[in-house]
Amino acid sequence: MEGSSTGAAGEAQGTERRPVRVLLADDHKMFREGLAGMLASSYAEEVELVGKTDTGEDAVALARKESPDVLIMQVDEKLEKAKETLSQILRVDSTSPPKVIILTMFEDPRILREVMKLGPNTFVHKSASVEELLSAMRTTIGEPTGENVVMVMPQGALEESEDGSAGGGVLTKRELEVLVLAARGMNNRKIAHHLGLSEGTVKRHLANIYPKMGVGSRGEAVRKALDNEWLTIHEITAEVDQ
């Protein structure tokens, strides 16, 4: 764990803006050190790196000590661990929690969906440029409500997420909506009405869903979706105006 106890350099004086105080948590030493060096040398007026670490425990401790404006955190396969770390950091100062920027290498839409559940303000894929990362950070800082999520990710991954071509039976957003409503016991006509689609389109979505999931019926599809945690009981039992 490497922290700074010097406080925010260049505190606001008159109209001068103080640098954004950033905490960096990333497993890869080369990137962590490299980005730290880069920020210190080329972006010192804009960004003050108050700490960097490769562990969740240290990230929580540094957040407690430094109260950063922004947490840049890598998320890899250990999603549960990331979730725990984030929740602890956001509890450190519940009145003014840091804005969270998640960095990841994931492109699989299913995993991205899980990552988004961590509740970041910003999501940046590592295939983005450093300038895009900084631009996303500026937007995040300038977004007062925290209601919008800033995303920088490969266009290909977005397209796969939309059209379901990611392979391995990934359902599109629309197909998931159809599946949820089917799981709630709606027939095709009601699903069509609810989603503003034609009945034929609903049938087509279901026809696409079954082979993708390797199932032959609605019942099997729902069971498999629950087993794989693509759907939750809450989603199925949530009240809906039928």
Partner 1 sequence: MYRRSAVPITAAVVCLLVAIEPQMYREVIALNFRQEHPRSEVVLASKQNLRAEAESVRPHLIFANGEVPPQLKERGIFWVEVRADDRLDATISANGYSDTIHDVSVQNLLEVVDKTLEEFAHGG
Question: Is residue 46 close enough to count as binding partner 1 by CB under 8 A?
Answer: no
Does 30 interact with partner 1 (rule: CB under 8 A)?
Answer: yes
Residue in 29, 64, 117, 189 binding partner 1, rule: CB under 8 A: 29
Nearer to partner 1, 55 or 242 (CB): 55
Q: Does 31 bind partner 1 (CB under 8 A)?
A: yes
Q: Sign (positive/negative) of CA torsion 79, 85, 90, 91? A: positive
Can residue 34 be called a binding residue for partner 1 (CB under 8 A)? yes
- 34 vs 200, which CB is nearer to partner 1? 34
Residue from 45, 64, 93, 129 binding partner 1 (CB under 8 A): 129
**Closest among 114, 135, 141 to 17, alpha carbons compared:** 141
Enter the tokens of residue 120: 């970041």
Both tokens assigned to 32: 């962590």
Q: Is 136 exposed, middle or buried (0-12, 13-18, 19+ CB in 10 A)?
A: buried
CA end-to-end distance (rounded Å), the chain: 54
Tell me the window of 33-41, 155-163, 214-222, 232-240 that interacts with partner 1 (CB under 8 A): 33-41
Tokens of 18: 């103080």
Task: Kindly indicate which of the ranges 38-46, 110-118, 188-196, 203-211 contains the residues binding partner 1, using the contact rule CB under 8 A.
Answer: 38-46
Check if the beta carbon of residue 169 is closer than 8 Å to that of residue 212.
yes
Footprint of partner 1 on this chain (CB under 8 A)? 27-31, 33-35, 37-38, 41-42, 76, 103, 105, 125-130, 133
